[in-house]
Amino acid sequence: MKKSWLWLIASMFVASFSVAESEKETQQDIKRHRAMAAAHESAAKCLESKKPAEQCQKELLAACKGLGIGKYCGMKHEH
């Protein structure tokens, strides 16, 4: 009987730790998505200002360094 209680308590502890880690990862994902969104919004404003696309692309790459995948900051579409 004691082993059953110990197992139950241990499994509850592990489950609560997993939830906390999952929440931490979720919060980090939220921050990354917001940073990428801000970088893309800035790129759109750059293009609206009639700056050369190459300049806007360079600014996007700088803003997205370490956030997105590839040279399009995790987002690619047709042109």
Q: Where are the domains of the chain?
A: 34-65
Closest CA to 75 of 50, 51, 57, 48: 57
**Whether pLDDT at 78 is above 70:** no
21 vs 14, more confident: 21
Work out the pLDDT band at 73, boundaries 50, 70, 90.
confident
